[in-house]
Amino acid sequence: MGCPGFRKNNLPATYEKMTPQSGTRLMLEEIKSKYGFNSPRVFKAMSAVPRSSFVSPKRRHYAYRDMALPISHGQTISQPYTVAFMTHLLKLKGNERVLELGTGSGYQAAVLSHLAREVYSIERLRPLAQKAKARLLSLNYKNVHVKWGRGELGWPAKAPFDAIIITAQIQGEIPKVLKDQLKDGGIIVAPVNETMLRLTKKVNKFKTESFGSFRFVPFVKASPH
C-alpha cells in the first residue's frame, strides 16, 4: 500500500497514550465504521496481534491507525483494513496450511497464525526475512515459518497448501507454479493488476472473483543468485 507523509503534531491525542489493546480496539472500530466491514474471526485474530510490535519505534505512534506504514528497503506494512479484508477472503477454518508471499514485517503472518494450523512465509529481501523471523520467534509465533527466497517459486517442499496469500502487486497473471502448489478446493488471494482477486481451485480450474482496487508495492521476482 502507498504511504502518506507523517507529522506527529497532527496526531490525535488518543493515539499518543494507547496500549496495544486499546489501540487495536480503536483500529478495528475505525475499520468497521469506515468500510462497513465486519469479520468476527479475523478481528479476534487481529486483536491478539500487537501491530506496534511490527513497526519501527519512530512509527509506533501511528501503529493503530488505518494506514500503511513504511518499514525498510522500500517496503510497507499493509493498511489494517487490507490485512483484514485479504485474510477474510481466505475463508480459513483453523486447520489449514497457508503460504504467504511477501513476509515484510511479519504482521500478516502473525494474524494468519491465529486462524490456520501452519503458516509458511517467503520474503525476497534477506534483511527483512531475518528481522521478521527473529521478531516472530521473540513473540512466540511457533506455527509461522519464514524463509528468504524467491516467492515466485513458492515453497515446493511444503506444498500443497490450502491457501496462498500474495501481499504484493502482481502484473500480468499469478505464476502457474504457485497455482500448482494449491490443493483442490484451495484459495489464492492476491492483488493482480491493481484488482484484488480470489481464485478458488476446482480440479485444476479456477473460479475467479474480483473485489475492487487496491494498491501495493510491486511483486518482484528475486534474483536466482
Looking from the CA of 93 toward its CB, the CA atoms found within 13 Å total 5
CB 122 within 8 A of CB 147: yes
Sign of torsion over alpha carbons 108, 74, 169, 213 = positive
User: How many DSSP H helices and E strands does the chain contain?
Assistant: 6, 9
Distance from C-alpha of 57 to C-alpha of 38, rounded to nearest angstrom: 29
Sign of torsion over alpha carbons 84, 26, 137, 123 = positive
For 79-224, list the strands marked E by DSSP: 97-101, 118-123, 144-148, 161-166, 182-192, 195-202, 205-213
Q: Tell me, what DSSP letter sits at residue 115? A: T
The residues annotated as belonging to the active site are 78
